[in-house]
């Protein structure tokens, strides 16, 4: 209707992607393409590809990370199940916590949902401490308000940059992409 803003169907979902085994750029790019087919009618927001240092005690190669935003009508638990199945389709095997992986898909936010279940916590914990999540997420949803922390993604990104002395060595843009909104 003229003069009225039309809302996208479903709930806004923000997903983090990462890979550091095989051709990580190709893997993340293909996973993004698949996630695009899951979007309800509406835009698929896609970040640039970022090269990031691994987190945790396991020595391993740097990661390629990205983030996507989409709208869905699939409930959060079912959406997570779909993400885990997609990881398996790409050869993900969970051997070591924080270890190398062909594809890692994290359900970061499901709208403003707060949920603590055995296999799913929303929003995803420790987002504010992870540059590899915040850098791409800031490209696709800088104004998104963290439902627990009460800050936007842009504010969390700026706080992370200010707190991490070698931030530019931990996260760097690999393949810039024009993010459509």
All domains in the chain, ordered by first residue: 11-175 (3.30.70.560)
Mean predicted confidence (pLDDT) in 64-73: 96
pLDDT at site 138: 97
Summarised one tens digit per residue, pLDDT across range 73-124 is 999 999 999 999 999 898 877 666 666 888 999 999 999 999 999 889 999 9
Q: Which H or E element spans position 150? A: none
Q: Is the pLDDT assigned to residue 43 strictly greater than 90?
A: no
**What is the model's pLDDT at position 59?**
72
| Cβ partners under 8 Å of residue 127, min gap 6 | 108, 133, 134, 137, 146, 156
Residue 158 pLDDT? 97
Rounded mean pLDDT of the chain?
A: 89
Model confidence pLDDT, tens digit, residues 45-63 = 999 999 998 887 677 889 9
- Which SS3 state, helix, strand or coil, does residue 20 take? coil
**Cα–Cα dist 111/130, whole Å:** 20
Q: What's residue 164's pLDDT?
A: 94
148-167: average pLDDT: 96
pLDDT for position 8: 58
Among 21-30, 49-58, 161-170, the range scoring the smallest mean pLDDT is: 49-58
Nearest Cα residue to 39 out of 16, 17, 15 = 15
Q: Which residues are catalytic?
A: 92, 101, 104, 106
Read off the pLDDT of residues 128-141 as tens digits, 9 standing for 90 and up. Answer: 999 999 999 999 99
What does the alpha-carbon distance between residue 142 and residue 134 come to, in Å, rounded to a whole number? 9
What pLDDT does residue 177 have? 73
| d(C-alpha 112, C-alpha 114), whole Å | 7
pLDDT-derived band of residue 156, with 50, 70 and 90 as boundaries?
very high
Q: Give the predicted TM-score (pTM) of the model.
A: 0.90
Which pLDDT value is given to residue 116?
A: 94
């Amino acid at each position: 209707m003229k003069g009225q803003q039309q809302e996208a169907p479903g709930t806004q979902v923000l997903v983090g992607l990462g890979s550091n085994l095989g051709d990580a750029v190709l893997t993340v790019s293909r996973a993004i393409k698949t996630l695009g087919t899951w979007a309800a009618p509406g835009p698929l927001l896609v970040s640039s590809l970022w090269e990031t240092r691994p987190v945790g005690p396991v020595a391993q190669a740097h990661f390629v990370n990205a983030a996507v935003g989409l709208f869905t009508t699939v409930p959060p638990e079912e959406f997570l199940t779909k993400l885990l199945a997609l990881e398996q389709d790409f050869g993900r095997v969970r051997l070591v916590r924080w270890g190398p992986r062909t594809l890692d898909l994290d359900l970061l936010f499901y709208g403003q949902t707060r949920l603590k279940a055995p296999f799913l916590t929303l929003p995803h914990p420790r987002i504010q401490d992870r540059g590899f999540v915040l850098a791409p997420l800031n490209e696709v949803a800088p104004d998104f308000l963290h439902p627990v922390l009460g800050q936007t993604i842009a504010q969390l990104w700026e706080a992370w940059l200010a707190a991490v002395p070698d931030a530019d060595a931990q996260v760097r843009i690999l393949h810039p992409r024009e993010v459509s909104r």
